[in-house]
Structure 1
Amino acid sequence: MIYCQGTKMLRSRNRKYCRICYFCSGTFDKGNFVKIRNVYNIGKNKIKRMHLLLILFGAIVSYFFWIQYIYYRQNSAKSRKHWLRFMLCRDKQIKSSQTSDLTGDVRALFLTAHPDDECMFFAPAILRLVELNASVHLLCLSQGNYYNQGFQRREELLDSCAVLGIPASQVTIHDCNTSSRPHNRRPRETTTAQDLQIQLLHLGDRLRPATQTADKTGELPDDPNVEWSISMASSLILKHIRAHSINLVLTFDGRGVSGHSNHTAIYKAVSYLASIGNIPDDCSLLSLLTIGVLRKYLFFLELPISWLLPSDLCCVIGSKGYIQAKRAMLCHRTQLLWFRYLYIWFSRYMIINTFQVIDQGPKNLKIY
């Protein structure tokens, strides 16, 4: 072994240069050694960066594989059997041979406040239930007459439900003949300036809390500033459940996904029915979980988070289902403002739904 003066390391006799500084063993130039040493440090830093990039790339690839695993697990035959057990007989044991016979026994009711809620928020659950050959019903408690477009939005809702697989005979829209804001009626054809003004009014109204009540009018108008009558909404819901022998109800939770007062009013009405025990014994109640804004717009990247966090039911659709939900949303032509396109492209509610069970109180409870 020969001692290298540049790196203070030993090299073998059969090597002409040191492995690190590559100086000849016979001469040593300190200036050249410093330059070579700097080049070595730069190369060492590049290797570290390459290692970090490889680790980051591996983490991203692993995350995407995880998403694929969760998706296929959620859409497996075992997951479908879990759906049926949960929806029909949560307290009973169902044999594997019986699950295929129970698909026709599911009678699901989606409770929405406005036309377009069914595809903006509930499309994954609707498509999964239709895939299971369940009988899916929709009750929309207003016809979206905020800008005097009730008739047009009613037609758009029927077109959207047809795309999602809900027949028109199973779609019910509560009729509210009068517009809640007659001074802000929107004609069928508007100018660019009028469209911009309506968009600003729309955004401002979503941020303003409810200040009025609809108890005196006896109606359920499409208006974020009007607080719906809980007694009237609950009576309409209960009547629809009993008329169609519904055994699964899906609606908003206490925060209403978007914070709209009409959304939260439906949850209050369903919770009221559940608390007094008026819901039939064989009927399950589910509320769509509201998540934060950051998670809300992560699109399919949010799937592992929803899978890890606790929920009673999780619905996931793939690219084919997303295209179908997008087609349903495009049926609502009057609602296709610029921020709705952003919602279609980035919202996780277009492909993922997570639900929580609404607890039911004692049956046939009377309050004096």
Structure 2
Amino acid sequence: MLPLIGLFLPLLLVFIPLSFLTLFVESRSGLLLTAETKRTLFGSDRKRRKHSSGKGGSSVGKTALLLIAHPDDECMFFAPTVIELVKSGADVEVLCLSQGNADGLGDVRPTELVKSCKALGILDSSKVSCLDHAELQDDPNAWWKASVIADVLSAHIGDRAIEAIITFDQYGISGHANHRALFDGLRYFQSLPMVPGRAFVANNEDANQPYSSAGRQSRRLSSRGAPVCYALKSISILRKYSGVLDLPYTVLNFLVRKHILPHRRLRASSSRTTLRASTVDAIKEKAAKAGLRTRKPKTSRGPSAPTEAVFVGGPLQAIQGCNAMTCHKSQLVWFRYLYLLFSRYMVINELVEI
């Protein structure tokens, strides 16, 4: 008994201060954001939306779409992000591209997904979609086609005012082929031509022609333009299973990238040539005549911070994420419990703009 106490006492001495650090960060709103990311996910008046999105009131926050490959991805990897967005008044929708039928459990897993999303705070089941697409079946060895993912995503979004899409990065956190394919599919979706008042056009169709009503559905470009896309950052396996112990490194790394590195980059690139205002205006004028939208060009007026976010869940949020995972009863094998105990993704999420 004494040897066990001697083994776990140092861990407790480290874990308890880090837990207080987590509580402090969570009390400071539970996240670290750059200015651009804050406007994208929460808008300019976050406090007003937070108070107006309580029980009985309608949310006026941003609308974010979580794009996942299988039921249980939402709680195993994205729980801190979903919980914080919901708490802050944002509307969160979930699009799962497969029913997770690799083990023949496709009949029960969509129901588990809806229950899990409710545990995370997405109470409206109509905001949770789980597809059964012939070309998007759960298979760790199958690489889903990017064009198919983009087509399905366009059809799902339709006329919805989706302002942010969140998914896996190119490494897929766990390396699962379906996770990694989502990143490629979202990049393909971003490359589709955009025409105001008309749809995203796929398969090299003429962007000047209205989208055929007999063809696939697709999203019309809203007045706010295309959604901003974010990817959940993959990390080394050592950090992945370090849980809350990874928090100090994550916070310090973020602050260094936000406040120190941009100034160094600015000094190093002080002689960089930038577009003249007349050139930018000319580009905008040509795009307007062609009926296309342009993105705001980047300028060198000041140091540019990374467009990313770090979501940190406190102990209560970690428990909420674990409760969501328990809704996936078909997936609760012994190593899942170890994942819940040690995975850093149950308490920390880093999102980077694609």
TM-score of Structure 1 vs Structure 2, range by shorter chain = 0.5 to 0.7
Question: Retained in 2: the 8 A contact 1:81–1:99?
Answer: no
Question: Retained in 2: the 8 A contact 1:109–1:137?
Answer: yes
Matching residue of 1:106: 62
Matching residue of 2:135: 219
Quick one: distance in 2 between partners of 1:282 and 1:105? 17
Question: Retained in 1: the 8 A contact 2:40–2:164?
Answer: no
Quick one: distance in 1 between partners of 2:193 and 2:72? 31
After TM superposition, the score normalised by the length of structure 2 is: 0.65
User: Kindly tell me: are residues 340 and 95 of structure 1, through their superposed partners in 2, closer, same or farther at Cα, counting changes over 3 Å?
Assistant: closer
User: Kindly tell me: are residues 223 and 96 of structure 1, through their superposed partners in 2, closer, same or farther at Cα, counting changes over 3 Å?
Assistant: closer
* CA drift at 1:140: 0.1
Q: Does 1:356 align with 2:312?
A: no
Question: Retained in 2: the 8 A contact 1:114–1:144?
Answer: yes
Give the alignment partner of residue 158 of structure 1, picking from 110, 114, 121: 114
User: Kindly tell me: are residues 129 and 74 of structure 1, through their superposed partners in 2, closer, same or farther at Cα, counting changes over 3 Å?
Assistant: same
Aligned to 2:132, the other structure's residue is in SS state coil
Quick one: distance in 1 between partners of 2:40 and 2:101? 39
Give the alignment partner of residue 168 of structure 1, picking from 114, 121, 125: 125
Alignment size in residue pairs: 258
Higher relative contact order (Cα pairs below 8 Å, separated by 6+ residues): 2
Question: Retained in 1: the 8 A contact 2:69–2:179?
Answer: yes
Q: Does 1:144 align with 2:100?
A: yes
Question: Retained in 2: the 8 A contact 1:67–1:301?
Answer: no
Q: Does 1:229 align with 2:145?
A: yes
User: Kindly tell me: are residues 277 and 257 of structure 1, through their superposed partners in 2, closer, same or farther at Cα, counting changes over 3 Å?
Assistant: farther
RMSD over aligned CA atoms reads 3.0
Aligned to 1:354, the other structure's residue is in SS state strand
Matching residue of 1:209: none
Give the alignment partner of residue 266 of structure 1, picking from 172, 182, 190: 182
User: Which structure: larger Rg?
Assistant: 1
Question: Retained in 2: the 8 A contact 1:67–1:303?
Answer: no
* CA drift at 1:89: 4.9
Quick one: distance in 2 between partners of 1:347 and 1:353? 11
* CA drift at 1:275: 3.5
Quick one: distance in 2 between partners of 1:121 and 1:156? 16
Structure 2: 5+ residue stretches without partners: 1-9, 54-58, 195-199, 201-220, 255-305
Quick one: distance in 1 between partners of 2:235 and 2:146? 24
Matching residue of 1:342: 338
Q: Does 1:119 align with 2:75?
A: yes
Quick one: distance in 2 between partners of 1:252 and 1:347? 16
After TM superposition, the score normalised by the length of structure 1 is: 0.63
Deviations 1:15-46 (A, max 9, x none): xxxxxxxxxxxxxxxxxxxxxxxxxxxxxxxx
Matching residue of 2:159: 243
Structure 1: 5+ residue stretches without partners: 1-56, 177-217, 359-368
Deviations 1:178-234 (A, max 9, x none): xxxxxxxxxxxxxxxxxxxxxxxxxxxxxxxxxxxxxxxx52010012221211111
* CA drift at 1:256: 0.2
Quick one: distance in 2 between partners of 1:134 and 1:80? 14
User: Kindly tell me: are residues 266 and 336 of structure 1, through their superposed partners in 2, closer, same or farther at Cα, counting changes over 3 Å?
Assistant: same
Matching residue of 1:304: 248
Give the alignment partner of residue 322 of structure 1, picking from 318, 325, 337: 318
Matching residue of 1:128: 84
Give the alignment partner of residue 331 of structure 1, picking from 322, 327, 333: 327
Quick one: distance in 2 between partners of 1:305 and 1:125? 19
Question: Retained in 2: the 8 A contact 1:70–1:307?
Answer: no
AA in 2 matched with 1:86: T
Quick one: distance in 2 between partners of 1:83 and 1:173? 32
Deviations 1:72-101 (A, max 9, x none): 235425x779588625459x9x47876757
User: Kindly tell me: are residues 149 and 61 of structure 1, through their superposed partners in 2, closer, same or farther at Cα, counting changes over 3 Å?
Assistant: closer
Quick one: distance in 2 between partners of 1:96 and 1:174? 33
Aligned to 2:250, the other structure's residue is in SS state helix
* CA drift at 1:65: 4.3
* CA drift at 1:243: 3.3
Aligned to 1:159, the other structure's residue is in SS state helix
Q: Does 1:292 align with 2:288?
A: no
AA in 2 matched with 1:141: L
Aligned to 1:349, the other structure's residue is in SS state helix
